[in-house]
Structure 1
């Protein structure tokens, strides 16, 4: 009997990409996708292709105990938890996202704890757990604590999620647990807040600050998830907490020039106001944690990933941004994003209204 992998968050881009990748992995017989709605990609449409594992989608909310039954029914041995959202766009509210991130993770861990068949757990996290503050170290390593703990948003959710995962690891030491702290994921199709920010026609920046940034390309993110899930190196279980980022660092001003985007330096209160308006109109999820990142920046060390996984990201920070730039060079903005923003703007306008 081959491996059975359960993946949460398959409706989002990263989850869909990961499912497509893991189905090609030798030794995997079945991939079970769990989300409240199916992916926009046809993940089950290639079952007749040679060598692909079967795919089964289960419509379920991870905040409910349904997942425990799914694990028992399919004999799941590997759980990859990707349903930890970085954005409120497409959701009803911030409170709903927080419930899914935190309460959903608690319910999932409870189900895994009761499952005798699960041997490996992989959890998507973020380097945002280190925060962004003026007195931060030049480079964060996995064992370092933030100078200022994240006070809200997705970063605080990630801190809570990691705390629950550590508790689970103590209760089930027989399960190999891998937490992946991803730097900001960028790429032609990534649906992340920073990708959305870089697609703006003009980039608002904080006057007097030029933060250092790191990126990880969406292709590298998928590959690291694959390695963590089913391909541990000989002599290791690929367990622990790992920073994931491309080589190198870019200043925000350098990133803007490479993307061909003009910048508008504003005083911090003005940028905060713009960010608030963007969130209220749902044009862009410009959360406070993103604003802190674009003020103070953040850089992490990836030595632990290289030494344990034996993997060097194919895209450096600069190359990841260059790939994003190539995807948007045909026009000032990608047509899909223009259409989405136009639709959101139309929803905000008063209905009706005849002519003069």
Structure 2
């Protein structure tokens, strides 16, 4: 049954780009009367301009549980999920607190809102994991073949588990779970966009992972439609088609630096030195195994086709055209950081061997 759009919508995570953008789009929709942004952090100045028509509440879901009921929220859009730890704000422990505990608290608060009839939750294709046992294409019904190594993927599995429990407790609330492929666009600023922006891109020797992306604007459109329209269920959200990692590197005008997987892990540990940010096991497994999802269900149910993975990636390239040249300074800086990581790995490998040899020599003496 098709119902009218919700009049009062609560959006979590409005101190980040995705949450602020979704809240702003909903506030501009005349079918929505009130949009409340819920976040314990003050939105940065760069996003404050988007939120002029959004009512802001500085609190997490647990503290605002009573407010959700008092506001008469008819829809909750849960976007307070982060894909990478921030070393300056608590690292991995703070990331898990926000993703897992924060979702659990939000759903507990939502359970007590009698007016609620719609829940939209940001998830990720990372829920499928990435391993050598994966199928060529994941559908929404595919179960992960193994527990993912990456912390974000494990968080996503917990988040979706809590949503399944909420569905059982509140079956009349239409719950939409959106499994997004990695975001990309001319303006996106993520670990992966910074990775492809480097003059030399570390890759895994002997592997050429198949990748999918979703354009940020298409992700925002799907989120908006999830609130305004009725689309309960779980959906893969990605651009059609794939790009091999080697193709993406060439399209971006970069140089690939193939490394053994173990060496790539070491380079990832010093990735902040070249401006990429923190690369975790989620990204490394993606570079090794790749991940491709089927979006037939999304296109059929939403009547909307996101631009292809290649088109989304080309928009990213256009947005970084001014910084795409391989200047001598940029190339030297990238080479220095990468080679420094390789030297560290070699030193770590030789020190135990040297110590063992000295010990054996002492025994013989």
d(CA) in 2 for partners of 1:38 and 1:321? 31
Q: Which residue of 1 aligns with 2:265?
A: 272
Q: Which residue of 2 aligns with 1:76?
A: 73
Residue by residue over 1:147-171, the C-alpha shift from the partner in whole angstroms, topping out at 9 and shown as x without a partner, is: 2221341010000000010001000
Q: Does 1:307 align with 2:300?
A: yes
After TM superposition, which residue ranges in structure 1, 4 or more long, deviate above 4 angstroms? 42-47, 279-283
SS at match of 1:143: coil
* Residues 2 and 44 of structure 1, relative CA distance in 2, 3 Å threshold: farther
**Contact 2:24/2:51 (8 A) holds in 1:** no
Name which of 134, 137, 162 aligns with 1:136.
134
d(CA) in 2 for partners of 1:4 and 1:126? 26
Q: Which residue of 1 aligns with 2:255?
A: 262
Between Structure 1 and Structure 2, whose CA radius of gyration is higher? Answer: 2
SS at match of 2:279: coil
SS at match of 2:154: helix
Residue by residue over 1:279-327, the C-alpha shift from the partner in whole angstroms, topping out at 9 and shown as x without a partner, is: 69985120101000001100000011111111111x2100111111011
SS at match of 1:301: coil
Q: Does 1:115 align with 2:108?
A: no
Q: What is the root-mean-square deviation of aligned Cα atoms in Å?
A: 2.2
**143-152 vs 297-306, which moves further:** 143-152
**Contact 1:13/1:189 (8 A) holds in 2:** no
Q: Which runs of 5+ in 2 are unaligned?
A: 338-365
Q: Does 1:58 align with 2:57?
A: yes
Q: Does 1:102 align with 2:100?
A: yes
Q: Which residue of 1 aligns with 2:211?
A: 213
1:275 deviates by 1.1
d(CA) in 2 for partners of 1:74 and 1:155? 33
How many residues in Structure 1 have an aligned counterpart in Structure 2?
Answer: 322
Q: Which residue of 2 aligns with 1:225?
A: 223
**Contact 2:24/2:50 (8 A) holds in 1:** no
Q: Which residue of 1 aligns with 2:246?
A: 253
TM-score normalised by length of structure 2: 0.83
1:188 deviates by 2.2
Q: Does 1:285 align with 2:284?
A: no
Q: Which residue of 2 aligns with 1:15?
A: 19
d(CA) in 2 for partners of 1:139 and 1:326? 29
**Contact 1:205/1:263 (8 A) holds in 2:** yes
**Contact 1:19/1:43 (8 A) holds in 2:** no
Q: Which residue of 2 aligns with 1:330?
A: 322
Q: Which residue of 1 aligns with 2:145?
A: 147
**Contact 2:235/2:297 (8 A) holds in 1:** yes
1:201 deviates by 2.4
d(CA) in 1 for partners of 2:50 and 2:289? 45
Q: Does 1:174 align with 2:167?
A: no
**Contact 2:180/2:238 (8 A) holds in 1:** yes
d(CA) in 1 for partners of 2:136 and 2:170? 35
1:209 deviates by 0.4
Residue by residue over 1:223-249, the C-alpha shift from the partner in whole angstroms, topping out at 9 and shown as x without a partner, is: 00001111x2xxxx3000000001111
Greater helix share, 1 or 2?
A: 2
d(CA) in 2 for partners of 1:160 and 1:252? 29
Name which of 4, 29, 34 aligns with 2:33.
29
**Contact 1:7/1:32 (8 A) holds in 2:** yes
1:8 deviates by 0.7
Residue by residue over 1:119-160, the C-alpha shift from the partner in whole angstroms, topping out at 9 and shown as x without a partner, is: 100000000010111121110000011122213410100000
Q: Which runs of 5+ in 1 are unaligned?
A: 48-53, 346-356
